Structures are given as C-alpha cells and as structure tokens.
C-alpha cells in the first residue's frame, strides 16, 4: 500500500484529467520507434513495487509517474501501457539502490 503522506506537486485530479491512456504511463510520450506495450499482471506488480520503493525514498524524478500509476491501478489497471525502455529504467533495482545511497550520503 502506498504511503499517502507523500504529496506530489500536481493533484491526482489534474493528472487524471490530462492523462492519455494510450501513452506510456511512465514517460507520457509516444515514440514511433518504440510502441507502448500492454500491461500484464506481472508487469503491473513490478511497477507497483518500484513505485512503492521510489515513494518511500521520496523520489522526485518519478513523482507524477507514481501518482498516475496509483490512479490507474484504482480505475483501470488493464489499460496501462509502457515503453520497454521506460519500464526497465523505472523498475531497475540498481537505480533505486543508487537513489538510497545518494540520499544517505547527501
């Protein structure tokens, strides 16, 4: 479950109003060379876990992605799509570990 003490700059309502479900949930881009992939149960679980980890770390780089993901899970999780490269970067545990190290030493 997500920690609701984390509040993004934009509200959930404003993100919902502007969120196009045909775009990558992570980058919100549409690339000609990299068509978004439809979500799977396993993929949604990995994104949920990564979002939870990033949220606990107060990750500001993916703040809006975390909110979009939380909203999509509550409304229509099967409609989520993402680019493989965006998914790989967002769910990469090494990136999360680097964030932890940077925050602890910074």
Mean per-residue pLDDT, 74-81: 81
25 located within any domain: yes
Q: Is residue 2, in this structure, part of any structural domain at all?
A: no
Q: Does 64 reside within a domain?
A: yes
5 in a structural domain: no
Residue 102: pLDDT over 90? no
Cβ neighbours of 15 (radius 10 Å)? 18
Interval 47-73: pLDDT, tens: 999 999 988 888 888 888 888 888 887
Q: For the chain, how many structural domains are there in total?
A: 1
Q: Tokens 């939380």, residue?
A: 70
Residues 20, 65: Cα–Cα separation, whole Å: 13
Range of the domain at 87: 12-105
Entry pTM: 0.69
**Do the domain assignments include residue 42?**
yes
What is d(CA 85, CA 6) in angstroms, rounded to the nearest whole number?
26
pLDDT at residue 42 above 90? yes
Tell me what the pLDDT averaged over the chain comes to.
75
Question: With 50 as the cut, is the pLDDT of residue 29 above it?
Answer: yes
Quick one: tokens of 104? 């602890």
CB 8 within 8 A of CB 44: no
């Amino acid at each position: 479950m997500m920690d609701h003490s984390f509040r993004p700059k934009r509200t959930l309502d404003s993100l919902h109003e502007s969120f196009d479900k045909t775009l990558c949930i992570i980058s919100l881009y549409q690339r000609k060379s990299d068509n978004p992939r439809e979500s799977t149960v396993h993929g949604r679980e990995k994104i949920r876990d990564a979002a939870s980890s990033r949220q606990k770390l107060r990750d500001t780089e993916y703040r809006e992605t975390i909110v979009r993901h939380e909203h999509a899970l509550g409304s229509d999780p099967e409609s989520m799509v993402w680019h493989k490269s965006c998914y790989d970067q967002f769910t990469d545990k090494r990136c999360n570990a680097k964030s932890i190290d940077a925050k602890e030493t910074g």
